[in-house]
Amino acid sequence: MGTFLGVHDMGASLSEDEFKASWEAYKLACNKLGCSAQHVHYNAEKGRGFCLTEASSSDEVQKAHDEAGVPLVEILEVKTRE
């Protein structure tokens, strides 16, 4: 499994509830497709978000975003250090 960073531009500012709903939809899509949504970092006012997902491939991450209806600008495979 790899770790992937999803870069999002929602196109406009969103409410906290709208961002929460899109994150919940994404987590459900990940569970269905066998990947694992880990964290999301976001700025609702600017409509920007960054999510971390554990998955077997970037294609799997793309499919989960598509299924959840969450716009995705880019997917980067990343490493994490503590």
- For the entire predicted model, the pTM comes to 0.90
At the fourth CATH level, the homologous superfamily of domain 2-52+59-78 is ORF SCO4226, nickel-binding ferredoxin-like monomer (3.30.70.3090)
Query: So what's the pLDDT on residue 27?
Result: 97
Buried b / exposed e along 28-67 (16+ C-beta atoms within 10 A) = ebbeebebebeebebebeebbbebbbebeebebbebbbee
pLDDT of the residue at 82: 80
* Mean per-residue pLDDT pooled into runs of 10, the chain (82 residues): 93 84 95 95 89 96 95 94 83
Return d(Cα 63, Cα 40) in angstroms, integer. 17
